[in-house]
Amino acid sequence: MKKKASVLIAGLFAIALLAFVPKTTTNDPWPVPDAYKTKVNPLKGDAASVATGKTLYNQHCKSCHGAKGKGDGPKASQLDTDCGDFTKDLAAQTDGALFYKTFEGRKDMPSYKKKIPDANDIWAVVNYMRTLK
């Protein structure tokens, strides 16, 4: 009986330690269909578009991606995947790829096709994301 209790306590201790293991920050590659990779943003990155994008970003994205796009929003630590740092990660991605990822979502990243149903508004968010440095 004493041995069973020791094993049980050791098991519970091991489970408790797992809570302190940092989550993995590596994300699986996020494939983007070719049709989206080459899609051109129909909006100019002008002040009006960026302002619209900022408003929508603050409403829908900031809680996870952070105010400056560094992936440090208040909800980021609750996610299973890393939000990424837009100030570093966006340069290699096309506007079409960013639109696709926002529109479709994946894993912890929700789809915004219903939350932001106007495609031009998603393009405006992409324009705002490009300003994060």
* Structural domains counted in the chain: 1
Q: Is residue 6 part of a domain?
A: no
Q: Is residue 79 part of a domain?
A: yes
Q: Is residue 118 part of a domain?
A: yes
Amino acid at 31: P
Q: Is residue 83 part of a domain?
A: yes
pLDDT at 28: 82
Note the pTM of the prediction, 2 decimals. Answer: 0.79
pLDDT at 27: 65
- Long-range Cβ contacts of 105-111 (<8 Å, 24+ apart): 106/30, 107/80, 107/81, 108/64, 108/79, 108/80, 108/81, 109/81
pLDDT at 19: 43
Q: What are the structure tokens assigned to 41, written together?
A: 């943003």
Assign residue 48 the CATH number of its domain. 1.10.760.10
pLDDT < 70 stretches in the chain: 1-27
pLDDT at 1: 58
